[in-house]
């Protein structure tokens, strides 16, 4: 929704899926890891993010990065010292998250995410919508949720302990979540 307001949108997962779709050697290795529900090596994701940051204009939203505590120090370096970073955590119970993953659809052309039953084509570019194979596999989803607990929860605690984290109740409707994001970012950035 921020991208619809003109923000640059850097989606770590979308970048990875583009590499997979292009069948690059890196993409083939990434596809195997994703099917298992594994997180990809930090350096690989940092390289993809850095490439996109060189292309994007400000303001921007980075989705899906960082995911590990060890990645937190690299984000200010990648973005530049003058960038105001506002980490946002969408708080949702793991069971609700798994249920949403099962209904997620992704546009094959522009990468926009929506939910099953809502649309048959992308509202942005009219490309085809499809579910992700790794969202349909219960084993892969379970492993991703385990990775979240092991890898990402310490990152959340880190940002929270520094007073930097904005936590948003993700069980609200989309419009309420969007309004809250705008309000919180505006309060931080003036």
Question: How many whole angstroms separate alpha carbon 168 and alpha carbon 91?
Answer: 6
Q: Which helix (H) or strand (E) element contains residue 129?
A: strand 129-130
Provide the pLDDT confidence category of residue 2 given band limits of 50, 70 and 90: confident
pTM, to two decimals: 0.78
Among residues 28, 60, 65, the alpha carbon closest in space to that of 46 is found at 65
Domain count, the chain: 1
Mean pLDDT (whole number) for 141-149:
86
When mean pLDDT is compared over 33-47, 68-82, 127-141, the highest value belongs to 68-82
Count of residues making up the chain: 190
Please name the residues in contact with 43: beta carbons below 8 A apart, sequence gap of 6 or more: none
Among residues 37, 55, 85, 41, the alpha carbon closest in space to that of 188 is found at 85
Can you give the pLDDT at residue 87?
94
Range of the domain at 146: 3-189
The Cβ of residue 3 has, within 10 Å, a number of other Cβ atoms equal to 17
Q: Give the model confidence (pLDDT) of 17-72 as tens digits.
A: 788 888 888 888 888 887 787 878 888 888 888 888 888 777 888 988 999 999 99
């Amino acid at each position: 929704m921020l991208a619809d307001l003109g923000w640059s949108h850097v989606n770590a997962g979308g970048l990875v899926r583009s590499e997979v779709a292009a069948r690059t050697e890196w993409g083939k290795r990434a596809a195997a890891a994703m099917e298992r529900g594994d997180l990809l090596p930090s350096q690989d994701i940092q390289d993809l993010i850095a490439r996109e940051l060189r292309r994007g204009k400000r303001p921007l939203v980075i989705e899906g990065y960082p995911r590990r505590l060890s990645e937190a120090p690299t984000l200010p370096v990648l973005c530049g010292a003058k960038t105001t970073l506002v980490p946002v955590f969408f708080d949702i119970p793991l069971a609700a998250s798994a249920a949403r993953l099962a209904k997620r659809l992704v546009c094959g052309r522009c990468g926009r995410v929506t939910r099953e039953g809502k649309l048959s084509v992308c509202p942005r570019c009219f490309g085809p919508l499809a579910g992700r194979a790794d969202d349909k596999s219960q084993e892969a989803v379970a492993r991703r949720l385990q990775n979240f607990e092991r890898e990402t929860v310490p990152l959340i605690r880190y940002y929270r302990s520094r007073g930097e984290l904005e936590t948003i109740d993700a069980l609200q409707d989309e419009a309420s979540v969007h309004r809250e994001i705008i309000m919180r970012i505006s309060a931080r950035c003036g």
